[in-house]
Amino acid sequence: MSIKRIGVLTSGGDAPGMNACVRSVVRTALYHGLECYGIRRGWNGLITGDIIRLDERSVGHTIDRGGTILYTARSKEFMTEEGQQKAVSTCKFLGLDSIVAIGGDGTFRGARALAKYGINVIGIPATIDNDISCTNYCIGFDTAANTAIECIDKLRDTMQSHERCSVVEVMGRNAGYLAMYVGLAVGATAVLVPEEKIDFERDVIEKIRQARFNGFTHYMIVVAEGAGSASDIAAKIKDAVDLDPRVTVLGHIQRGGTPTARDRVNGTKMGYLAVELLLSGKTNRVVCTHDGGFTNVDIEEALQMHKNIQQIEVDVLAAMTGI
């Protein structure tokens, strides 16, 4: 398989570290004498031909920037066969023989669709939710977690001063990995995630009571957005124990900010490995982490995998909250 021109795109929700990954793809490609092109606004850019040539200067001083210099978008048109064929036509017209797609499951489904038309594709997992089943770690998760932790630490100061209960909603519509990780890191009174069935009396009210018996007068409840509305949970707490919780929804602040060292380094390694895979003749793969190292799996296999909350996190949380 001869590789001459590589296209790189970011799709879905932005994640800190995407720019480090794009930079790595570009510089690795140039190192091997390949041309590299940036596809702007995700799969839609491949349909419309929104493509620019990238060189060392294009990606200079981007490793420390959050967001994505290539922009990102979701494309309903690309979900159709007609849209996919337009994207393939763009690849053929411009001579793009390979695409590196940085994003989540939706991004990988798009890459799989292109692969059936003979386009070489490599996926790189990047999502703050860390919910890509084939990998232990996704680009952006560490930065998002640290952003949430910093915010909650500041909230705790005022909650402690006023002896209040705080309900903090973090991102995670379908997955609670971020909420669980952040909850453990901040010593939350309770953590609610969509993967675990919630018994409100046991999982929230009794934990607040137990904390009070242990001498605490402030309580921190962390909830993934997919586990329920922070406002609704606060209202139920008020009805049950006559506290007046303060609600904080962190929202999109978790997506932004300077990427941490971990996200910069992992993004750089994954971008490098994506190009090396293509050069070695491997395609339709997803770069992923496993047991502390890097590996790759077939895209089809990756999309069929299922990921669960780590049982050790559930067990540790139970021990830390006293129930």
Tokens encoding 202: 């046991």
The 8-class DSSP code of residue 202 comes to I
274 to each of 35, 199, 220, 268, 304, how far by Cα in Å? 15, 44, 41, 10, 21
CB 6 within 8 A of CB 37: yes
For residue 252, give every residue at least 6 positions away whose Cβ sits within 8 Å of its Cβ, in sequence order, or none. Answer: none
Which candidate in 50, 129, 131, 263 is catalytic?
A: 129
Q: Which helix (H) or strand (E) holds 5?
A: strand 5-10
240 to each of 99, 128, 168, 202, 304, how far by Cα in Å? 54, 33, 18, 12, 42
Using alpha carbons, select from 120, 123, 132, 118 the residue that is nearest to residue 101: 123
The 8-class DSSP code of residue 7 comes to E
d(CA 323, CA 317): 9
CB 237 within 8 A of CB 167: yes
Using alpha carbons, select from 162, 211, 159 the residue that is nearest to residue 190: 211
Using alpha carbons, select from 234, 255, 254 the residue that is nearest to residue 246: 234
d(CA 22, CA 250): 27
The dihedral formed by the CA atoms of 128, 131, 133 and 139, expressed in degrees to the nearest 10: 0
Active-site residue flag, 129: yes
Active site (catalytic) residues:
129
